[in-house]
Structure 1
Amino acid sequence: MPQYPYAIPPGGTQTTLNVTTNTLVKGAPGKVFRLVFNTASTTAPAVYDFATVTGFGAANLIWQGATATAAQTVVTLEFPCLNGIVVVPGTGGNVSVSYA
C-alpha cells in the first residue's frame, strides 16, 4: 500500500489571488489551469499568452469570457502558454488564478 493513497488532482501549483487589473501572473512559459471569479465583471475578462502586461492582442488571446461574467464562475482552461500568462479581469472583476 502506498504511503499516500490519495491522488493529487492535476492543476496549478501556483496562484495569484484577487486580480483586479490587467496582470502578468507569469512572465515565462507555463500553463493556466483555472480562473475563479470572486466579483462579477461588467466587461469581458480574458487570458492572453503574452510576456508583458502591454502589447497583447487578438493574436495572443487564449480565452475571453462573456461581456458580464458572474461572481462564483469557475473556468477550467488547462491551456499551455509559450510566452507567459496575462489575466484581464474585466471592469469591476476580481479573479483568482491557478497556474504552473
Structure 2
Amino acid sequence: PEFVLHYPGRPIDYTGNKIIPEAHGKWIRLQPSNFPEDAGQSTVPFFDAREVVAKFPIRGIGMEYRGVSDGHTGGFLVPTLKTYRLSDDVKIDSSIGQY
C-alpha cells in the first residue's frame, strides 16, 4: 500500500515535521512538489542527509518518513539504524567482585 502525499509542498517550508507512524511499511512515490506553491520545481520527499552514527553494534538499517500526517508536505526520507541491545543476551554475575 502507498502512503499518499496530497499536494505535497517543499518540506523545508514547514515546521513540525516528525516521524509518521502511518507511513510505516508503506511505499512513498517520488513526485513533483505541488504546482500552486512551487510550480512542481522540487522532487519530494527530500532525502535527509544528516550523518547517522551508532555507538553500539548494528542489527539493522531502514528508512522512515518524516513529515506531517495529513500529507500536505513532501516530507523527508530518513535513514535509520537499529542497534543491538546487549542487555538481552549478556548476563552479569552480580556476585563477582563482592567480598
Q: Report the TM-score when normalising by structure 1.
A: 0.29
Question: Quick one: higher RCO (CA 8 Å, sep 6+), 1 or 2?
Answer: 1
Q: Report the TM-score when normalising by structure 2.
A: 0.29
- Kindly indicate which of the two structures has a greater share of residues assigned to strand: 1
Name which one, 1 or 2, has greater alpha-carbon Rg.
2
